[in-house]
Structure 1
Amino acid sequence: MRKLKKWFMDLKITPKIIIYYSIMIIIFMVLSVVVYKQLNYSTVTKKVGQMLMETVKTVDANLNFLIETTSNQEKILLSSKTLQSALSQNSKRNDPVVQRQVENYLEESMNFNEVISSIYVFDNEGHKYYADNASYKAVSLTKIKEAPWFDELVRLNGSYLLKMNGGGTFDSQDMNYISMIRVINNIDTQKPIGYLMVNISADTINKYLNKDGNTYNTQYILKDEYNNDFLHASLAEEQEFAVIIDHVLDKEDHSEIKKVGSKQYIVSNLRTEFDWKLIAITPFNELSTQDQTYTIIFIITLLVNGVLLMCGIVFTSLLISKPIQKLVNAMKTVERGVFQEVSIKTGNDEIGRLKNVYNMMIREIQLLFDNVVQEQAAKRKMELEALQNQIKPHFLYNTFDAISSLALSGNHEDVYTIVKALGKFYRSSLNQGHEEITIRQELDIVEQYLTILKYRYGDKFTVTTHFDERTLDYTIPRLVLQPLVENAINHGIRAKIGPGLITVQSLFCGDSIQLIVEDDGAGMEEERLTQIQQGLTNGVGLKATIERLSIYYNAKADFQIESQIGYGTKITLTIPAINDKANSNKTLQL
């Protein structure tokens, strides 16, 4: 996340604006589509559910009309003289003529009403008259009287009782039937004289359910009061639909959307007037095709608006960022140390005012920079002079101490020698007022200095030197090695028991030169070493030398001190390999 944030913050203004607003537009578009689809889905679901429920009610009305039409046909049958006479006169029960007359009448009734598949009539003694357009049904009065619903049939006293497949009085393997069963009463006495069973096939019922057309490929399931299937839909995922149907059976006049497999269906349940359940299963995709078209149009419109808005954002970002980029390109000269005013065409807007302020700032900085350069040059010169003046009296104090000691001891020849060496030392170190000297000249100064110190310390130390010839003609500031040698003697050799060794060497390292002064004296503690490295000591010689080199080489000189108690100290000075002969002509103004 941090890398991503850094990457974004490092981008230029134009892509940053485009990315930011692109994300906002995408989020807005996604939220708009999600909200639209959710609201649209909810609205469509509600409307489709209501529409399907109305359709189911219409289908139920068609079914009720069919039942009532058949019931009216039954009433005509019940009131016919042919049927009343045959059932009332027991003497005509086995008369073939009567049998034929009644059954012909039943066939005529079936032909008049095509919805009727078969008619079965029984007198009180169980004699049967029938007409059947399908297969014969082995129904008998005995089975009717043994049925659990017979008492209810008697209580209805002539009204019909609706049962599936004769309420179990006959088996139908190929086709289910709605059986309208009722008691036949004598018209005159209103006493029961027989029983009537009119059967309507499932095919006929199904045709009536779909007589107004089936635009949405709806499939219907019709269950009796015991939830037995009268009409069974042809569904691929029967087990999944069975669970859904069981779920909606207990909810009257109810519709809900269920997902089966990869498709959605609206399942509607309606309880009919005769206590059967009519269930409609409609593919939701068939209903939402038009709404999907609206959704596609909405998304396309949203995308077009998004593209137009994006173009506007790109144009606006370029309008803002282009002048800024031009200003940035003009400002890049500052990176090269060139303080140059920018010249670009701008209006009197924020960017124009920014350009004017920047140009004014450049003028002020250039003026300030020139002043600082002059001040720093003067300050640097004064600091170098002050530091060298610190070194000179420091060395003189120590030398005069040695001369005083020799004079007191009466050793005049040694006094002469040391004074002569001191004069030669100063003649070499002053170098006719030049600020820089060669490393070769610096070695001569060190040699004279050691000559002086030999008189002070005798055999206390010996000196070995190793100088790379390639380094001898390179120039360095005056009195660089002398303070280091002095420091080695005063703080290393003097504190050591017995004689010590001082090694002075120079190494050529290509683009740099190393000057090394090493002793095998007493060494320094780590705390003392840290103080020297951090410039916290009060000593003049070593501290002054470090400061001089830092100023002279603009902090490009490296100064390393290695020391260990009992093993000595090693000072390594690494300076740039610069052989500028012009620098050797600089004079030190005292």
Structure 2
Amino acid sequence: MSITNRMAIFYIIILVFSIALCTLLYQQIYYRITSDKISEVSMQNLYSIRTSVEQTIDNLNNYSKMTLANDDLQYTLRSGNIYTDLVTQKRVHEYLVHLIEAVPQIESVYFFDSHSNEYMVGNLGINQFNLSDIKDAGWYNEVLEHQGSYILKLNGGGAFTRDTNSNFVSMIRVVRDLNSIKPIGILILNIRESAFKLSYNNILDKYKTDVTLLDENDESIVKSGEASVRDMEHYLSLSGMKEYDSRIEKRNGAQYLYSHLHDSNNNWKLVSVMPIEELLSESRSVSWVGLLIILVNGILLFIGSIFISRILTNPIKKLLRSMRSIERGEFKQVDIKAGHNEIGRLRDGYNMMIHEIQKLIGRVIEEHNFKRKAELNLLQAQIRPHFLYNTLDSINSLAISGRTEAVSEIVEALGQYYRISLSKGKEVITIGEEIEGVRNYLKIQKIRYGDMFDVSFDIDERVLDRKILKLILQPLVENALYHGIRAQGEPGTIQISAKYAPDFILLTVEDDGAGMSEESLRKLLDDELNANAASFGVKGTLERLRIFYGVDQICTFESRVGSGTKVTIKIPNAERNEDAI
């Protein structure tokens, strides 16, 4: 039997088997890929919803800050009795009425003086405070511990009588005297349920999606559709403490995609339920097209193999012998004598392909280096505003307090800091310039916090002229101040040192503040980089160091609860510049 006939018979057997196998595998792979894409879309929707919810809360938080800074409200609460000065009380009332009219998300506003006297503006028919003394509220001690930052409680945490037809979320915070920073009252903003519904109304009608927003106690804040609470609780129990998860579960004989996303800022959860059948039905035609393509291609390949095998067998063998070098990973052009027929064009096409592969490999290497540099620039662009926002907030606080000289000092220090940090677009500066930038940063924070912290520097003069990636010490010093000393609640010390060694330079930032547990430290080092996370400055610094110096373990952390934190950076003692990225 000829080779051509043998190839035809063998191909028929392989074709039948491969079509059956490919059909089965295609269906399985298609279902899995579709499910993964659906899960990805579901998670993207939840991330969008979380961002919208957080933006809503941030906007209302800004309105609450504006309310706290109102001069009339400060004066009224500072007196100790909100009913002492009726003229001022009237102005406060007018301000709050205008606030509620301008911000429809706010249903009502309550504030309480130091004697638990209550004053409210809003809908008097529902959501009334039902405690005789605000100190009896279950969240009272919690809001005091937050020292001025807000807490969120569903339906006022049981302190309000409420309309059972709708929910509301209470934003509760301590009112501080802007002059003495002492607590002088409590402010409560009751946020309508509709404020959160607007975050994802555009998703609810798509694919019959059911989205539920849960608070820290897994109680529904805003619930849409008819999702089974029991099924949802079962899904959350399977997901455990994961930040996000997706899985397919059966409910009433049908398959549903359950997805959840944890909002670490408010300890809330977003849960979505999407019917799988509804989603797969739209793409089922694509599946049939894919199967048809497999079948048609198989038939065409069979017909073509009969003709091609007769004229290509011998020339192909010659071509294969010339292409053996590819098996050894050598991409070399072949040289066979085949004239200008099809085999010759195949040879020319193959040689052109090898040439393009060589060019592509070079391009991939070039793009990889460009990507590393772009990644570094992106991280640096993200970390610069991180300090500016905090400084502007400090300037705002000083301006409100009337401390004009301090405002002048902090603005001057800020200008000196950014002259160093910008460095005319250079990403590499001397250690001396980096230390000077840290001194300006601490000068700014010293104006704000006074005697809350002391600073000591131990700098080896031999390292001052050494080049270093800029803006790596400031995020660590900021972390030591905010999450170390400030979290401790009492004065502390930050120690900054730079030591010289022949092969490396040791930079150390150490504080005697609150410290971190092993779990918190592990989470800081293991979590993915997130611009919204509290640890973004430290994580961004570690990522920049890793990219720039190409060393994974360049930074070490030592910390214990109550004993402070020590961060050590081991920089290779070799000159680098921006072109080395």
TM-score for the superposition, normalised by structure 2: 0.46
Higher Cα Rg, which structure:
1
TM-score for the superposition, normalised by structure 1: 0.45
